[in-house]
Structure 1
């Protein structure tokens, strides 16, 4: 039986390769039908903001990777309510549907998975 894995992405899309690497891991796992979840935490919530202008910062645009998640069977997408509110973001404006979690919900989510990787 496949072990479940939660990927926690904490970096903004413009802060370096970590955001892209987290998405690459999730997409690869999805291709092998592993039970995966993806948690956007802290500055990682900026990955969910539409109309990114990554090329201005000489970064790869992650929009296509994010939109491909459902095609790879990755439907378990989460974010922290606190991460959104601290950054002035609203769930209604995000590019993907995510489940919003409070602190207790985050702890429960992390405990549900066999493995947790933070990038």
Structure 2
């Protein structure tokens, strides 16, 4: 039976690889036919920025995998409106299709999920 699962990340893209762990978690759930969504909050929205080059920091470029989420049926990617504003990220700077949510919309989203995983 399919479950609605929301993965939430609020860590900086290069903070102990927590976004990488969130990505792996989303892909694992999607691989077992769950309805997976992902919410980026706080500094994690920086992972959505186009043209990053983590290899220059000596880190494997896992961010390019964000563009493949749709292939794995992780179709709904959300970002916190205030976090995008805080980090001055405009829609044209985002590398993938996202839905922007304010705080009340985020709460409503969380309330509709059967499981919420926060890394």
Q: Give the TM-score of the pair, scaled to structure 1.
A: 0.94
Q: Look up the SS of the partner of 2:25 in the other structure.
A: helix
What is aligned with 1:86?
86
Alignment of 1:54-73 (within 5 A): 54-73=54-73
Structure 1 ranges of 4+ moved more than 3 A: none
Q: What is the CA–CA distance in structure 1 between the aligned matches of 2:43 and 2:35, rounded to whole Å?
A: 25
Q: What is the CA–CA distance in structure 2 between the aligned matches of 1:34 and 1:109, rounded to whole Å?
A: 16
Q: Establish whether residue 30 from structure 1 lines up as the match of residue 30 from structure 2.
A: yes
What is aligned with 1:46?
46
Alignment of 1:75-114 (within 5 A): 75-114=75-114
Q: Establish whether residue 21 from structure 1 lines up as the match of residue 7 from structure 2.
A: no
Q: Unpaired segments of 5 or more residues in structure 2?
A: none
Q: What is the CA–CA distance in structure 2 between the aligned matches of 1:77 and 1:95, rounded to whole Å?
A: 12
Q: Give the TM-score of the pair, scaled to structure 2.
A: 0.94
How many angstroms does 1:24 deviate by? 0.5
User: What number of residue pairs does the alignment pair up?
Assistant: 119
Root-mean-square deviation (CA), in Å? 1.1
How many angstroms does 1:27 deviate by? 1.1
Query: CA offsets, 1:62-115, max 9 Å, x none?
Result: 233101100001111101110100111112210011101111101001111011
